[in-house]
Amino acid sequence: MRVLTRRFRTRLAGALRAEAPELYRQAPRAVWEKEWVVHSQCAGNGAAALGYLARYVQNTALGSKRIVAD
């Protein structure tokens, strides 16, 4: 699992540097240096996988109401 964690972190950092460098620069350097926890599990395929992922993508940690309120 450590290999997956490091690979995910490295690929995300590379993609942000290439596609959204301003967003990459906003993240503190410590974010890219500390160990991450990546949890993955099989979600099936097709409609079942889409339904599983939709539950997590739809509800973010910071909703627009919380951002506007602060």
- What is the structure's pLDDT at 44? 75
- Judged against a pLDDT cut of 90, whether residue 19 lies above it is answered with yes
CB atoms within 10 A of CB 41: 5
For the stretch 21-40, pLDDT in tens is 999 999 999 999 998 988 87
pTM of the predicted model as reported, rounded to 2 decimal places: 0.56
User: For residues 14 and 50, what is the distance between their CA atoms, to the nearest angstrom?
Assistant: 26
Q: Are 55 and 43 in contact (CB under 8 A)?
A: no
